[in-house]
Amino acid sequence: MTQKILIINFEEIYLKGKNQKIFIKQLVRNLKRKLTKYQDYLQFTKAQGGSYFIEIIKEIPKDILEDIVHIVKNTPGITGFYVADTAGINMDEIIEKAVAHAQRYAGTFNSFAVVAKRINKSVPFDSMRIGREVGSAINERLGKKVDLTRPDFKLHIKVRGQYTIIYSKIIPGIGGLPVGTSGKAIAMLSGGIDSPVSTFMAMNRGLHITAAHFHSVPKTSPQSIEKVKMLARQLTKFQGQIKLYLIPVLDIQEAIAKHTDSRLRLILLRRIMLKAGEAIARQEKAKALITGDSLGQVASQTLENMKATEAATNMLVLRPLVALDKKHIIQTAQQIGTFEISILPHDDACGLFTPKSPETKAQLKYVEEQCRKLPVDELISQALAKSEIVIISDTSLIKPD
């Protein structure tokens, strides 16, 4: 028999009118994919009233249930969900299970109300009687008082087809939109604090992300790549599996250093990164590039420099962090579990050849003139030919928060 049921709500998806069906279908597909390893325990059922059920259909170890709850909690598109207990459709069992459920939360409330509903009309008792009998059992056995107007704790009981569901506290989800419903994008993922946050924000607006990281191995350590893999792994808890491109840029950096104005090194490298991102986007059928730029955060992230950088590509460049201050970005990084990884010491490709006085107000015309000194297309195709693609999928390595 069904042991427990996760009842999923998705408010924002309701707002989508006739697209609603597509959104829900995608959400369920995402959930099924993320929960593949536990599929033997699960059954997905569309419920009446717009919610969705994930039924636990056999005895389940506590840590697996916890992991399932953690995965559901971190799936974009879910505003909240309940973990419901189940009982048969006879009054004695409903009372026993309801009291046991309430007892688990006993420390959190003094007053309570029972909200009962009978969907299966063939049982020999009505919802009023369920409310009354369960109410008095909780009152007698747990010493809590009934308050139907402003209860601390609401216990929902629904008698459905062949079983009853009992639930109370909603577990908040991360909201947003199901990954994939907004299309695909390429996220430029460094080892820093910002880009994992911008990648997460893009996922949470329904984008399916492929990540691109540019490295200068062997001039930078191989650990810098391990760190980016760790960040990507942490981000799989939202999207599920992530494809990560690792692109070597040392040759490009050397060409830039040799042939161009040193003040423009970073901008020229960023331009090439975006152009390489564009090539990957074509391959992956993605329609935008995502970066972790935040206006004015560092001297190089000025309007002039952003303009001179993004002019290298015709692609839409999205910067989810553009107006956020560092404090807010760090808070989000802590919440999504990337901060601790981002602050590990590492050497980044960009840090490797930062000039003493980088340009902060680049003139596009001059940048383009300098860019023409480089065989850009050739450099990019060589780098891409040497790039490595890894599929990051291990959500089980992530500790629940």
Q: For binding to ligand ATP (CB under 6 A), which residues are involved? A: 188-190, 192-195, 212-214, 273, 291-293, 297-298, 300, 348-350
Residue 277 CB, nearest distance to ligand ATP (Å)? 8
User: Which CB sits closer to ligand ATP, 94 or 392?
Assistant: 392
- Judged by CB, which is closer to ligand ATP: 52, or 339? 339
Closest to Mg ion by CB, 30 or 190: 190
75 vs 190, beta carbon nearer Mg ion: 190
Give min distance, CB of 219 to Mg ion, in A: 16
Q: Which residues bind Mg ion (CB under 5 A)?
A: 190, 192
195 binds, among Mg ion, ligand ATP, none (CB under 5 to 8 A by kind): ligand ATP
Whether the Cβ atoms of residue 160 and residue 5 lie closer than 8 Å to each other: no
* Minimal distance, residue 297 CB to ligand ATP, in Å: 5
Segments of 309-368 assigned E as strands: 316-318
Q: For residue 175, what are its two tokens?
A: 């909201």
Please report, as a single letter, which amino acid is at residue 374: L
Tell me which of Mg ion, ligand ATP, none is bound by residue 214, counting a contact when its beta carbon lies within the kind-specific cut-off of 5 to 8 angstroms: ligand ATP
Which residue is nearest to Mg ion, using beta carbons? 192
Min separation Cβ 200 and ligand ATP, Å: 12
Rounded Cα gap, residues 77 and 72, in angstroms: 10
Closest listed residue to residue 269, CA positions, set 191, 386, 185, 348: 348
In the complex, the smallest distance separating the C-beta of residue 234 from ligand ATP, rounded to whole angstroms, is 14
CA gyration radius, the chain: 26
Give the nearer residue to ligand ATP in terms of CB position, either 30 or 305. Answer: 305
Residue 177's nearest CA partner among 207, 198, 209, 200 is 207
Neighbour count for residue 115 (Cβ, 10 Å) = 15
CB of 178 to ligand ATP, least distance (A): 24
Q: Give which of Mg ion, ligand ATP, none residue 359 binds (C-beta under 5 to 8 Å, depending on kind).
A: none
Q: Least distance in Å: CB of 290 to ligand ATP?
A: 7
**Nearest residue to the partner ligand ATP, using Cβ:** 192
Q: For residue 348, how far is the Cα from the chain centroid?
A: 25
The secondary structure of residue 212, as a DSSP letter, is E
State the binding partner of 131 from Mg ion, ligand ATP, none, CB within 5 to 8 A by kind: none
168 or 294: CB nearest ligand ATP: 294
**The two three-digit tokens of residue 124, written as one number:** 């020999």
Least separation in angstroms between residue 374's CB and ligand ATP is 18
Q: Under DSSP, is residue 39 helix (H, G, I), strand (E, B) or coil?
A: helix
Nearer to ligand ATP, 55 or 194 (CB): 194
Distance CA 49, CA 151 (A): 24
| Residue closer to Mg ion (CB basis): 176 or 192 | 192
Residue 274 interaction partner, one of Mg ion, ligand ATP, none, beta carbon < 5-8 Å per kind: none
> Residue 338's binding partner, choosing from Mg ion, ligand ATP, none, with beta-carbon cut-off 5 to 8 A by kind?
none
What's the CA gap between 240 and 37, in Å, rounded?
12
- Report whether 300 contacts 261 (CB < 8 A): no
CA 102 to chain centre: 32
- Residue 183: count other Cβ atoms within 10 Å of its Cβ: 12
Looking at the DSSP bridge assignments, the partners of residue 113 are 154
